Amino acid sequence: MKPRFLKLGYFAWIVVPFGVWITYQSAGLPHAIWSYDWIDQGQSMDPFAHRYYTRCRFVGPYGQFELAARDGRCGWVRFFSEEDR
């Protein structure tokens, strides 16, 4: 008969904090989009016009990061580590 404290189900909760720690170690902390620049192709300030973004600024725990847009688009969240400064 196995002792009760050695059930695998009792240790299943460890998966979530371990997953958060692995994500932090591999990708860093999340930074949200703060501002962006785009090419005005004559659409002026039409909110429904297609825009081609050129620069994206992300703000988060490690400060702000300004990057070139990928394929004319900016994501809502990017992950940065302290070494990316």
Buried residues in 27-45 as b, exposed as e (16+ CB within 10 A) = ebeebeeeebebeeeeeee
Q: Tokens at residue 55, please?
A: 């620069």
pLDDT in tens, 6-64: 777 778 889 999 998 998 899 999 999 999 998 877 667 777 778 889 999 999 999 99
Using CB atoms within 10 A of its CB, is residue 79 exposed (0-12), middle (13-18) or buried (19+)?
A: middle
Give the DSSP H or E segment for 58: strand 52-60
Global pTM reads 0.74
CA distance 44 to 53: 14
Domain boundaries, the chain: 28-41+51-85
